[in-house]
Chain A
Amino acid sequence: MTRFLVRRLLSAVLTLFAVSVLSFLMFFGLPKDPVSGMCPKNCNAERLERVREELGLRDPLPEQYANYMKGIVTGRDLGSSQGGRCDAPCLGYSYVNSEAVTDTLARVLPVTLSIVIPAAVLWLVLGVGLGIISALRRGTALDRLAIGFSLAGASLQLYFVGAVLLLIFTYNLRITPVPSYTSIFDNPLKWASGLVLAWVALAFLFSAIYARLSRAQMLETLSEDFVRTARAKGLAKPAVYGRHALRAAITPVVTIAGLDVGSALGGTVITETTFGIQGLGRTAVDAVKAGDLPTIMATVLISAVFIVVANIVVDLLYAAIDPRVRLR
Chain B
Amino acid sequence: MSLSPVEGAARAEIEPAADPVTPEEKSIVGRSPGQLAWARLRRDRTATVSGVVLVIVIVLALAAPLVSKLYGVGPDEQFSDRLDGNGMPLGYVGGITGDHWFGLEPRLGRDIFIRMIYGMRTSLFIAFAAALVTTAIGVVAGILAGFLGGIVDTVISWITDVALALPFLIFALAVVPTASLRFYGPREEVPPAFQVAVLIVIFAVFGWTSTARLVRGQVISLREREFVEAARASGAGLGHMLFRQLLPNLWAPILVAFSLAVPQYITGEAALSFLGIGILEPTADFGRMIFQSIPYLQTDPAYVFFPGVTIFILVLAFNLLGDALRDALDPKSSR
Contact = CB atoms under 8 A, between A and B. Distances in A.
A88 interface: no
A5 B178 CA distance: 40
Interface residues of B, number: 35
Contacts of A154: 315, 319
Contacts of B158: 11, 14-15, 18
Contact of A15 (B161, B270, B297, B320): B161
A313 interface: no
A156 B312 CA distance: 6
Contacts of B171: 23, 26, 300
Contact of B167 (A15, A157, A304): A304
B165 A259 contact: no
Interface string B149-188: 0000000001001101111011101110010011000000
Contacts of B267: 157
Contacts of B175: 26
B227 interface: no
B271 A157 contact: yes
B28 interface: no
B116 to A, nearest CB: 16
Given A151-B320, A155-B319, A288 B173 contact: yes
Contacts of B173: 285, 288-289
Contacts of B164: 259, 307, 311
B165 A16 contact: yes
Contacts of B275: 269, 273, 285
Given A151-B316, A269-B275, A22 B162 contact: yes
A27 interface: yes
Contact of A308 (B165, B291, B294, B304): B165
Interface in B293-322: 294, 297-298, 304, 308, 311-312, 315-316, 319-320
Contacts of A152: 316
Interface string A246-269: 000000000000010001001101
Nearest to A267: B167
A23 B297 contact: no
A292 B50 CA distance: 46
B128 interface: no
Contacts of B290: 157, 159-160
Interface in A70-86: none
Interface string A280-298: 0100110011000000100
A288 B161 contact: no
Nearest to B273: A159
A contact face: mostly helix, strand, loop, or mixed? helix
Contact of B166 (A29, A156, A285, A304): A304
A18 B162 contact: yes
A303 interface: yes
B169 A269 contact: yes
A134 interface: no
A154 B320 CA distance: 11
B125 interface: no
A112 interface: no
Given A22-B162, A30-B178, A151-B316, A299 B311 contact: no
A171 interface: yes
Contacts of B271: 157, 159, 270
A270 B294 CA distance: 13
A31 interface: yes
Contacts of B316: 151-152, 155
B295 to A, nearest CB: 8
A167 interface: yes
A320 B312 CA distance: 39
13 contacts: A11-B161, A15-B165, A22-B162, A31-B182, A159-B290, A164-B297, A167-B297, A167-B298, A171-B298, A270-B169, A270-B274, A289-B173, A308-B165
Given A155-B315, A304-B165, 18 more contacts: A16-B165, A19-B166, A22-B162, A26-B171, A31-B182, A151-B316, A154-B319, A155-B312, A157-B290, A159-B274, A259-B164, A267-B170, A284-B167, A285-B275, A288-B170, A300-B167, A304-B166, A307-B164
Interface of B: 158, 161-162, 164-167, 169-171, 173-175, 178, 181-182, 263, 267, 270-271, 274-275, 290-291, 294, 297-298, 304, 308, 311-312, 315-316, 319-320
Interface of A: 11, 14-16, 18-19, 22-23, 26-27, 29-32, 151-152, 154-157, 159-160, 163-164, 167, 171, 259, 263, 266-267, 269-270, 273, 281, 284-285, 288-289, 296, 299-300, 303-304, 307-308, 311
